């Protein structure tokens, strides 16, 4: 039985033990770390009170290093999880621990409203997790928020520059391990970790080598061996910070297994220049570098069964996660397949796409009884399979994919209620539009779609469109006129594109929708790194790449000409300015960097055609 099916069975068993329906419960079961994993980050000598820490800073002359796990009034959903990423990430690295304990007064503290006003760290303007470094007089030396990619070299550079110190290098025997990771050579990294462990008798070195051995195994699609090695480390050296981090990773609480912690080399320019949190300075990467880094990252995050399971999106309940994993895996498959067809992209592993196709075709990886997110698993698998079938006429898996597409299309049709309003956690126009686009692609791939299904869907979507062109957020026929264009701008191109595909578009409506999307883009961008609805207009980080993908496809539906080309260029340049410090992409912490990176690469491919 695959690890995904074991996961589904265990979730259902837990729900039953709690007296809840085993399926479609909506219950979010968020596990707590073990006692050993919970110690991650505790080697830093944290102060907990701001005034006492500032007084100690003034007395000692040392800078105050203030880590803000969250803020009072923050709209972030995954506050504990984000804090655990920081504690098991940067604050578990020996170089960071040493710098903070020797050169600063470290403070881990959630500010109250008065402190937020005093230090200008209010929600919205300062997105957690974040850091302030103040000198001994209280003057600000460094402000860093929107941290969503963890790189030891980049993070230590921020400390070195702000504090005017030099971090201690890793032990000589371990340097080769880190160098192999930086070069992306996992085989060399694995060999180096074993050599380093054999050469040293120092407990901290042995623990570091053991942790890195697990990391190399994990990145090589041998996750069960990685978990085993990390658990062994926890049992053998339970007093070592690396062991605490290893246990956090083995239990799914650490940033490495979730794809947020990277050991590859960060370019010198990116290391030396600070932009917006862990977003790279504009112009840091060309498109070839984005494809190379993104493809390497995606391949390293693939699991042994072919899927991707880093995402934590559980708004439909924990029992919806298998369907979320399948949806994200299909998005990753689309990006990887695009990369495999690019002349300038690095090679794709021989089994990567075949294993992905097998994973996506196997309905046992789904939870078919959960209706909250099942539609996304159907939509994104179908979209990938339609594109794949159009190009892979002689592939040995073609019959397998054709049969899967028939089943998936049937599943989408069966999910439509009498009023035509498809749903995920609730009926809404953006799901309706996404399904209509998917059914169009399926019909063009030879799958029969009953006309009455389309008619019902179109009527339901039109009922959500205001005279201004705004599309309501939920399915509320007759209430669309109350929707502001600024609040609807992200989803308007999606809706108009879908209606146009089925012959129900209004003259100029798609152009107007795209104009509104660009005009109000700032509202999407300002909450991109939140994992929930976070501003007055209802935007949330998890809509960012979804809307960017929809906008990219809508642009391509415009008639050829200068206007279309100008929007293609505008959208492409916008995406080129969004990569993280390692040339990958992210929006919300909850959806993760696999999803963000794959969506961004898909958009770049579309806009490059």
Region 503-527: what's the mean pLDDT? 96
Distance (Å) of CA 583 to CA 82, 267, 603? 21, 10, 15
Q: How confident is the model at residue 317 (pLDDT cuts 50, 70, 90)?
A: very high
Task: Return the domain boundaries, the chain.
Answer: 41-163, 279-608
Residues 447-463 as b/e (b if ≥16 CB within 10 A, e otherwise) read: bebeeebbebbbebbbb
Residue 32 has a CB neighbour count (10 Å cut-off) of 11
Question: Distance between CA atoms of 264 and 267, rounded to whole angstroms?
Answer: 10
Region 205-221: what's the mean pLDDT? 96
Pick the range with the lowest mean pLDDT from 5-14, 120-129, 530-539.
Answer: 5-14
For residue 207, is pLDDT > 50? yes
Q: How confident is the model at residue 43 (pLDDT cuts 50, 70, 90)?
A: very high
Question: Distance between CA atoms of 342 and 388, rounded to whole angstroms?
Answer: 14
Q: Are strands 104-108 and 140-144 parallel, antiparallel or unpaired?
A: unpaired
Region 335-339: what's the mean pLDDT? 97
Q: Are strands 104-108 and 63-68 parallel, antiparallel or unpaired?
A: parallel
Measured in degrees and rounded to the nearest 5, phi and psi for residue 525 equal -65, -35
CB 473 within 8 A of CB 483: yes
CB 498 within 8 A of CB 461: yes
**Amino acid 198: pLDDT:** 78
CATH architecture of 41-163: 3-Layer(aba) Sandwich (3.40)
Region 310-335: what's the mean pLDDT? 97
For residue 428, is pLDDT > 90? yes
Summarised one tens digit per residue, pLDDT across range 156-175 is 999 999 999 999 888 877 99
The mean predicted confidence, pLDDT, of the chain is: 93
Strand order through the sheet with 140-144: 104-108, 63-68, 130-134, 140-144
Q: How confident is the model at residue 470 (pLDDT cuts 50, 70, 90)?
A: very high
Question: Distance between CA atoms of 448 and 361, rounded to whole angstroms?
Answer: 19
Distance (Å) of CA 512 to CA 508, 517, 575? 6, 9, 21
For residue 315, is pLDDT > 90? yes
**Amino acid 194: pLDDT:** 86
Residue 382 has a CB neighbour count (10 Å cut-off) of 27
Q: How confident is the model at residue 435 (pLDDT cuts 50, 70, 90)?
A: very high
Q: What percent of the chain has pLDDT over 90?
A: 88
**Amino acid 19: pLDDT:** 37
Pick the range with the lowest mean pLDDT from 134-148, 193-207, 226-240, 347-361.
Answer: 193-207
For residue 357, is pLDDT > 70? yes
**Amino acid 483: pLDDT:** 96
**Amino acid 30: pLDDT:** 92
Distance (Å) of CA 407 to CA 370, 382, 402? 17, 10, 9
CB 127 within 8 A of CB 587: no
Region 182-210: what's the mean pLDDT? 89
**Amino acid 200: pLDDT:** 76
CATH architecture of 279-608: Alpha/alpha barrel (1.50)
**Amino acid 439: pLDDT:** 98
Give the orientation angle of helix 544-556 with respect to helix 509-519, to 10 degrees: 140
**Amino acid 14: pLDDT:** 41
**Amino acid 232: pLDDT:** 98
Q: How confident is the model at residue 344 (pLDDT cuts 50, 70, 90)?
A: confident
Question: Distance between CA atoms of 45 and 22, rounded to whole angstroms?
Answer: 44
**Amino acid 23: pLDDT:** 59
For residue 449, is pLDDT > 90? yes
Q: Between 332 and 197, whose confidence is greater?
A: 332
For residue 1, is pLDDT > 80? no
Pick the range with the lowest mean pLDDT from 95-99, 245-249, 477-481.
Answer: 477-481
CB 358 within 8 A of CB 404: no
**pTM summary value:** 0.95
**Amino acid 11: pLDDT:** 44
Pick the range with the lowest mean pLDDT from 192-196, 359-363, 558-562.
Answer: 192-196
């Amino acid at each position: 039985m695959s690890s995904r099916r074991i996961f589904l069975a265990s979730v259902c068993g837990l729900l039953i033990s709690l007296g809840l329906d085993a399926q479609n419960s909506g219950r979010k079961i968020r596990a707590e770390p073990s006692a050993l994993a919970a110690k991650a980050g505790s080697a830093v000598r944290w102060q907990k009170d701001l005034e006492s820490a500032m007084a100690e800073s003034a007395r000692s002359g040392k800078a105050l290093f203030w880590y803000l796990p969250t803020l009072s009034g923050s709209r972030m959903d995954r506050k504990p999880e984000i804090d655990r990423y920081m504690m098991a990430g940067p604050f578990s690295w020996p170089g960071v621990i040493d710098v903070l304990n020797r050169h600063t007064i470290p403070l881990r503290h959630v500010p109250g409203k008065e402190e937020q006003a005093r230090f200008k760290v209010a929600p919205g303007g300062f997105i957690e997790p974040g850091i302030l470094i103040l000198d001994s007089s209280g003057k600000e030396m460094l402000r860093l928020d929107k941290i969503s990619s963890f790189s030891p070299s980049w993070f230590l550079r921020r400390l070195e520059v702000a504090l005017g110190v030099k971090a201690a290098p890793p032990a000589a025997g371990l340097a080769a391990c880190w160098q192999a990771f930086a070069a992306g050579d996992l085989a060399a990294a694995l060999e180096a970790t074993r050599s380093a462990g054999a050469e040293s008798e120092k407990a901290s070195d042995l623990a570091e080598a053991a942790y890195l051995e697990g990391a190399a195994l994990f990145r090589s699609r041998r996750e069960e061996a990685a978990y085993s090695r990390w658990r062994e480390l926890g049992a053998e050296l339970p007093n070592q910070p690396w062991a605490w981090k290893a246990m956090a990773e083995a239990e799914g609480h650490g940033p490495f297994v979730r794809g947020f912690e990277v050991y590859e080399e960060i370019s010198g320019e990116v290391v030396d220049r600070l932009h917006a949190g862990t977003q790279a300075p504009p112009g840091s990467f060309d498109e070839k570098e984005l494809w190379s880094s993104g493809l390497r990252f995606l391949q390293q995050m693939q699991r042994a069964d072919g899927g991707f399971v880093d995402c934590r999106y559980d708004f439909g309940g924990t029992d919806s996660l298998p369907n979320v994993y399948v949806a994200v895996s299909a998005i990753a498959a689309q990006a990887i397949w695009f990369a495999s067809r690019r002349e300038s992209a690095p090679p794709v592993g021989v089994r990567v796409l075949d294993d992905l196709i097998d994973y996506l075709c196997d309905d046992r990886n789904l939870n078919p009884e959960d209706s909250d997110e099942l539609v996304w698993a159907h939509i994104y698998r179908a979209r990938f399979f339609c594109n794949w079938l159009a190009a892979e006429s002689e592939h040995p898996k073609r019959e397998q994919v054709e049969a899967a597409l028939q089943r998936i299309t049937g599943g989408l049709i069966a999910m439509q209620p009498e009023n035509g309003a498809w749903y995920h956690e609730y009926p809404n126009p953006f799901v309706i539009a996404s399904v209509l686009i998917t059914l169009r692609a399926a019909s063009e791939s030879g799958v029969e779609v009953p006309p009455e299904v389309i008619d019902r869907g179109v009527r339901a979507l039109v009922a959500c469109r205001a005279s201004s062109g705004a599309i309501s957020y939920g399915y509320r026929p007759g209430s669309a006129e109350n929707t502001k264009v600024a609040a609807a701008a992200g989803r308007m191109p999606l809706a108009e594109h879908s209606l146009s595909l089925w012959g129900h578009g209004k003259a100029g409506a798609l152009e107007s929708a795209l104009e509104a999307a660009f005009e109000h883009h700032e509202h999407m961008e300002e909450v991109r790194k939140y994992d929930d609805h976070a501003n007055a207009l209802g935007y949330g980080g998890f809509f960012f790449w979804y809307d960017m993908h929809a906008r990219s496809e809508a642009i391509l539906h415009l008639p050829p000409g200068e206007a279309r080309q100008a929007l293609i260029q505008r959208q492409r340049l916008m995406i080129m300015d969004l990569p993280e410090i390692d040339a990958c992409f992210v929006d919300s912490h909850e959806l993760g960097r696999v999803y963000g990176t794959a969506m961004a690469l898909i958009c770049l491919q579309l806009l490059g055609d």
